[in-house]
Structure formats: C-alpha cells, structure tokens
Amino acid sequence: RETPSVAGIINPGAEGFQKLFFGQEEIAIPVHGG
C-alpha cells in the first residue's frame, strides 16, 4: 500500500496529532476530540 487507509482518529478529550509508523516512514495522523 502506498498511502494509509486511516485519515484521522476520534478520541474524546484529545486534540492534535498522533505519530505512527507506516512501514519505515513516520506519519502524523490528526486526532479530533468528539
């Protein structure tokens, strides 16, 4: 896969970005408070 299938994370009480590894590359996924 070239791009991750997750576009964002919903986590009540949290905002910002979550850093994750996608293969060998580190990516930042936006976190939205619900």
Q: Using one digit for the tens of pLDDT, what is the confidence trace for 1-34?
A: 898 999 999 999 999 999 999 999 999 999 999 8
Residue 22's CB is within 10 A of a number of other CB atoms, namely: 13
Check residue 23 and give its pLDDT: 93
Question: Which residue segment(s) compose the domain that 32 sits in?
Answer: 1-34
DSSP string for 1-33: --S-S---EE-TT--EEEEEEETTEEEEEEEE-
pLDDT recorded at residue 34:
80
Cβ(12)–Cβ(34) below 8 Å: yes
Q: What is the model's pLDDT at position 1?
A: 87
Domain count, the chain: 1
Work out whether strand 16-22 and strand 9-10 pair parallel, antiparallel, or are unpaired: unpaired
* C-alpha to C-alpha distance for 25 and 30, rounded to whole angstroms: 16
